[in-house]
Amino acid sequence: MSAPSIVILTGAGISAESGLGTFRDEGGLWAQHRIEDVATPEGFARNPQLVVDFYNARRAQAADANPNAAHMALARLQAEHAGSVTLVTQNVDDLHEKGGSVDVIHMHGALNSALCATCEHRWPAPLAMSVGQDCPYCTGPTARPDIVWFGEIPYHMERIERALANADVFVAIGTSGNVYPAAGFVQMARHVGAETIEINLEPGENVGLFDDVRAGKASETVPNWVAEVLAG
């Protein structure tokens, strides 16, 4: 049998031990802000300064953060596994890349990217973006953080669905399984007969859909799982 095709979905939990708070963390950035204010197009239209400041703070925090053993283990899996490894993340930080991963699919966008709301041009975001910054392509004053907000369509869905249609193994790591479409990936994988594994500190909302559930901190559980896969 050829080496299995693996699709991995990561969420905020994989970056928690790198010091980036999850959405549920008490006292974290998210606890101080309402989702409707900072993570919707309507919130941005109402108060762009608040939204730009919020993502500037998150960008600064991510720039100072280091990848942990879980990010590094996934990079090792990508480098050493004989079959395909598709790494999809809901995270907007770049800790997978800092950990050595290549070709990371950022379905919810990226803090280090800016997007023009007029022409959809993308460019590297400065550490601190400002409201009404000019687009370097069309010169419109319509720069925004390149983040997929609630009510917007996640990026790269066709590619992700193609990978899921060919998956032998699907693994969800550090995600609470309550934000769609990502929370539905496990069903797509089951549909094609893939083995499904959840690796999480606490069981996600959709835990019942996984064949195998591993509880614990990502920095321990993910390297263990990767070692198992690589040992065959």
Work out what residue 118 binds among ligand NAD, Zn ion, none; the CB cut-off runs from 5 to 8 Å by kind: Zn ion
Site for Zn ion in 107-136 (CB under 5 A): 116, 118-119, 121, 135
Closer to ligand NAD by CB, 24 or 162: give it.
Answer: 24
The answer to whether 81 is a known catalytic residue is no
Written as six digits, the tokens of 224 are 């263990």
- Tell me the residue ranges of DSSP E strands in 5-153: 6-10, 85-89, 104-106, 109-116, 122-124, 143-147
Q: Output the smallest distance, CB 181 to Zn ion, in A.
A: 27
Q: Which residues of 60-86 are buried (b: 16+ CB within 10 A; e: fewer)?
A: ebbeebebbbbbbbbbbbbeebeeebb
Work out what residue 121 binds among Zn ion, ligand NAD, none; the CB cut-off runs from 5 to 8 Å by kind: Zn ion
Closer to Zn ion by CB, 137 or 150: give it.
Answer: 137
Q: Which residues bind ligand NAD (CB under 6 A)?
A: 11-13, 16-17, 22-24, 30, 35, 39, 90, 108, 174-176, 178-179, 200-202, 204, 217-218
Among the listed residues 3, 138, 192, 227, the single contact to Zn ion using CB under 5 A: 138
Compute the distance between CA of residue 46 and CA of residue 30 in angstroms, rounded to an integer. 18
Beta bridge partners, 145, equal: 114
- Tell me the residue ranges of DSSP E strands in the chain: 6-10, 85-89, 104-106, 109-116, 122-124, 143-147, 169-173, 195-200, 212-215
Work out what residue 119 binds among Zn ion, ligand NAD, none; the CB cut-off runs from 5 to 8 Å by kind: Zn ion
Closer to Zn ion by CB, 23 or 123: give it.
Answer: 123
Residues belonging to the active site: 108
